[in-house]
Amino acid sequence: MPTVLSESNLPGLDLIHRGKVRDVYALGLDELLMVATDRLSAFDVVLPDPIPGKGEMLCQISNFWFAQTAHLIPNHLTGKRVADALPPGVDPALYERRSVVTKRLKPVPVEAIARGYLIGSGWKDYQATGSLCGIQLPAGLRQAERLPEPIFTPSTKAAVGAHDENIGFDQVVATIGADLAEQVRSATLAIYGFAARYAADRGILIADTKFEFGTDSAGTLYVMDEMLTPDSSRFWPASDYRVGISPPSYDKQFVRDYLETLRWNKTAPGPMLPRAVIEGTAAKYAEALQKLAGIVVD
């Protein structure tokens, strides 16, 4: 049975960040222990109900993609055992499948997003302006339509409780410099292209996805945090894909669609979720994990 962890508690370790999903602890000066909890955020708000086993599934699918894309860009994993990093007395079973020991990197302060289809905030921006993040798109595109080619559509990296905002590439250059901006854009599109082809062969369309990057002391770029998970991506069953609608998905769009039926202003605190939505969301994550990585949730 999957473990359930809403918030980690590791006495003796220095908690340096508690994010929407991940709790991050310092392991000396050069490494981190990253714990994927079962918290769920939607519309940048952490919801009150955990999704049992979600953190374990996120961690496993991220690790799968990190291994699959290591030939494209280095990643933050050290390969060290989680059990060896835990304080004495902590049950390793609660943390081993949801945690990783990583390099300690300097985060790039930009959300790196690749889109292959017109959906979500991208669809809304296109309807309003005919463009997305400063990229002019062809006229007459419909909701969920495949773009002529994947595009890099960065956004701000908001704090917990705030909302990310789409930005143009010029703003990325102004924030992190031209060289690093080009590296981030190139890596984002390369990873997305590889993953989209891989997933399509397994009956899943990756509509869009978000990456986090960081640099080491030498300035080398790494992909980090999570990768191509149901939290950071829109996964659509190819068999159910239709242009002109928001297709059914394996990701947390299942929760977003439920929340859109409520009279909620999308600010904290978030609403409670019905049991059917919690169980349905867990099932969506498990199905994506099995189809993409071949891992069956026990």
pLDDT of residue 210: 96
Tell whether 256 and 142 lie within a shared domain: yes
Tell whether 233 and 113 lie within a shared domain: yes
Tell whether 86 and 200 lie within a shared domain: no
Tell whether 119 and 85 lie within a shared domain: no
Tokens of 137: 């798109």
Instruction: Tell me if 176 is assigned to some domain.
Output: yes
Tell whether 225 and 238 lie within a shared domain: yes
Tell me the CATH number at 97.
Answer: 3.30.200.20
Tell whether 50 and 161 lie within a shared domain: no
Residue 271, preceding peptide bond in cis (omega within 30° of 0): no
Task: Please tell me the total count of domains within the chain.
Answer: 2
Average pLDDT, the chain: 93
Tell whether 61 and 196 lie within a shared domain: no
Tell whether 24 and 88 lie within a shared domain: yes
Instruction: Tell me if 279 is assigned to some domain.
Output: no
- Tens-place pLDDT, residues 182-236: 999 999 999 999 999 999 999 999 999 999 999 999 999 999 999 999 889 999 9
Which amino acid, one-letter code, is at 250?
Answer: Y
Kindly list the distances between the CA atom of residue 176 and the CA atoms of 80, 143, 169, in Å, as whole numbers in the listed order: 31, 32, 11
Which amino acid, one-letter code, is at 171?
Answer: Q
Tell whether 63 and 114 lie within a shared domain: no
pTM of the full structure: 0.91
Instruction: Tell me if 59 is assigned to some domain.
Output: yes
Instruction: Tell me if 150 is assigned to some domain.
Output: yes
Tokens of 254: 């299942």
Residue-wise over 22-55: b if at least 16 C-beta within 10 A, else e? Answer: bbbbebeeebbbbbbbbbbbbebbbbebbbbbbb
Asked if 284 contacts 247 with a C-beta cutoff of 8 angstroms, the reply is no
Tell whether 171 and 249 lie within a shared domain: yes
Residues 6+ apart with CB under 8 A from 150: 114, 115, 116, 189, 192, 193, 196
pLDDT band at 127 (very low <50, low <70, confident <90, very high): very high
Quote the CA–CA distance of 48 and 35 in Å, as a whole number: 18
Tell whether 124 and 258 lie within a shared domain: yes
Asked if 62 contacts 41 with a C-beta cutoff of 8 angstroms, the reply is no
Instruction: Tell me if 267 is assigned to some domain.
Output: no
Residue 40 lies in domain: 14-105
Tell whether 82 and 133 lie within a shared domain: no
pLDDT band at 13 (very low <50, low <70, confident <90, very high): very high
Instruction: Tell me if 6 is assigned to some domain.
Output: no
Query: Residues 156-174: what's their mean pLDDT?
Result: 79
Q: How many CB atoms lie within 10 A of CB 185?
A: 19
Least Cα distance to 168 among 133, 194, 193 occurs for 133
